[in-house]
Amino acid sequence: MRMYDIIEKKKQGLELEKDEIYELIRLYTDGNIPDYQMSALLMAIYFNGMTKTETSNLTDAMATSGDTVDLSMFGDLSVDKHSTGGVGDKTTLIVTPIVAAAGGIVAKMSGRGLGHTGGTVDKLESFPGFRTSLSPEEFVSQVKKCHLAVIGQSANLAPADKKLYALRDVTATVNSIPLIASSIMSKKLAAGTHSIVLDVKAGSGAFMSTPEKASELAEAMVDIGKSRGRRTAALITNMDIPLGCAIGNALEVIEAIEVLKGKGPDDLREVCLALASVMIELSLGLSSVDAKAKAKEMLESGKAYEQFKTWIALQGGDPSYAEDTSKFGSSKHEHDVLSDREGYIRSCDAEAIGIAAMKLGAGRATKDDVIDHKAGILLFKKPGDRITAGDVIAKLYTDREYAIDEARDMVLGSLEFTDEPLPEAKMIYKTIR
């Protein structure tokens, strides 16, 4: 195979053969195709797209380029969930124990946060002692014990994607539906679950800015999952505003615990129940109506909360933190953000709030930054709420006194006001099966 010919073929908008795709991914992963040629191919893909068959083959070639997890011992019951990333997205902490309590098997790999978005692994590490790195034997053994384990992504999972993503990042080719869909799905396929539920976020804090663009990506990913024999579904959810009130690791864990205890914000509970229902539907083979009822029952009966504590304890965390959340500790500085305006909040830039939380210590500007688990923001007001000057809009938590003024200005600057009342924001735009 000559890489030159492959580039030429894609430049002309022709379909690449299965063998060509597997070979080029193998050669690139092994360092036998130079970045300049792969960059040219990525740009040709960016402009000419890929057919469904090409995208499916590319995904599988990347998924099988490194370690793959074998969950076949769990039959049809294993189910994964993936979020395309957002601000205040702590759904995994709530959804996974609901599904596990219902009888699904959740053996999950999650990422760390970068930039304005958070990562589940960082959130879980708010529990002192929680182990996000388990050997493959420990991982499977824990899943057998409590139907649930969440660990960091194995270093050799889909290495072809890791290399390609880094190249896309510096060649202006990230933003292509077949490339994003294959990148995300390669890791999900390698992670081995029988069912996959995708939470594709749409809005100011998300990768895809509108529900239409998010749907396009979701459909591409659902097609890939199905073409590789996985039951796959996607929900398009609202990320124009942070999900729930808490942004920052321990603050988000505490909010998730509140939802599991039957309290917490309505928007967060709604999205979690919707995700959990579809996961239960796919993994247990229930009708959509029965799956919804099951998810609700697991949450309302407290069974999901008990499952959560068992899970945390088995992975080395102290479940008494869930009973007494003050154990997570408090920041040196707590600062109320007061409104300087009056009216109804029309919109709230979720990305700006995420960046403000990062500046307070809750996130990483670069991969090597160390995060402060206690830092973050509680956002008390959301679009649609009526505000008068002097109302407390948010509370900032940080050990970095120097970051407070900038973060406060960012939170205030993220809000737009109107004099007219607004209809309630829709949290779930669409489900794609």
Q: Which is nearer to ligand URA, 46 or 127 (CB)?
A: 46
Q: CB of 187: closest distance to ligand URA in angstroms?
A: 6
Q: Catalytic residue at 364? A: no
Rounded-to-integer distance, Cα 378 and Cα 143, Å: 33
Task: Please tell me whether residue 164 binds ligand URA under the rule CB under 6 A.
Answer: no
Closest contact distance (angstroms) between CB of 164 and ligand URA is 9
Beta bridge partners of 197: 81, 233
The answer to whether 83 and 113 are in contact (CB under 8 A) is: no
The site for ligand URA, by CB under 6 A, has a size of 6
390 backbone φψ class: left, alpha, beta (φ>0; ψ -120 to 50): left
Cβ closest to ligand URA, residue 188 vs residue 294:
188
Interface with ligand URA (CB under 6 A), residue from 59, 183, 232, 414: 183
Q: Are the beta carbons of 156 and 66 closer than 8 angstroms? A: yes
Verify whether residue 194 is a known catalytic residue: no
183 vs 237 by CB, closer to ligand URA: 183
- 39 catalytically annotated: no
Using the minimum distance from each CB to ligand URA, give the nearer residue, 82 or 335. 82
Q: Interacting stretch for ligand URA, rule CB under 6 A, among 116-124, 178-186, 246-254, 326-334? A: 178-186
Evaluate the CA torsion angle 99, 104, 110, 116 in order and state its sign. negative
| Binding residues for ligand URA restricted to 262-281, rule: CB under 6 A | none
With CB under 6 A as the contact rule, which of the stretches 117-125, 173-181, 191-199, 238-246 interacts with ligand URA?
173-181
CB 54 within 8 A of CB 20: no
Task: Find the helix or strand (DSSP H, E) in which 393 lies.
Answer: strand 392-398
The DSSP secondary structure of 344-388, one letter per residue, reads EEEEE-HHHHHHHHIIIIIS-SSTTPPP-TT-EEEE---TT-EE-
Annotated catalytic residue: which of 168, 292, 294, 374?
168
Quick check: is 9 catalytic?
Answer: no
Of the candidate residues 121, 143, 180, 276, the single one contacting ligand URA (CB under 6 A): 180
Q: Residue from 15, 49, 131, 165 that binds ligand URA (CB under 6 A)?
A: 165
Query: Are the beta carbons of 324 and 344 closer than 8 angstroms?
Result: no
Binding to ligand URA by residue 22, rule CB under 6 A? no
State the minimum distance, in angstroms, from the CB of residue 175 to ligand URA: 9
Tokens of 269: 């509970």
339 makes contact with ligand URA (CB under 6 A): no
Helix (H) or strand (E) holding 20: helix 18-29
Residue 95 DSSP SS3: helix
Instruction: Please state whether 272 falls in left (phi above 0), alpha (psi between -120 and 50) or beta.
Output: alpha
Candidates 39-47, 68-76, 180-188, 339-347: pick the segment binding ligand URA (CB under 6 A). 180-188
Mark whether 227 is an active-site residue: no
114 contacts ligand URA (rule: CB under 6 A): no
Decide whether 174 or 412 has the Cβ nearer to ligand URA: 174
Is residue 184 a contact residue for ligand URA (CB under 6 A)? yes
Neighbours of 92 (CB within 10 A): 24
Q: How many residues does the chain have?
A: 433
Residues recognised as catalytic: 82, 161, 168, 183, 187
Q: Which residue ranges make up the site for ligand URA (CB under 6 A)?
A: 165, 174, 179-180, 183-184
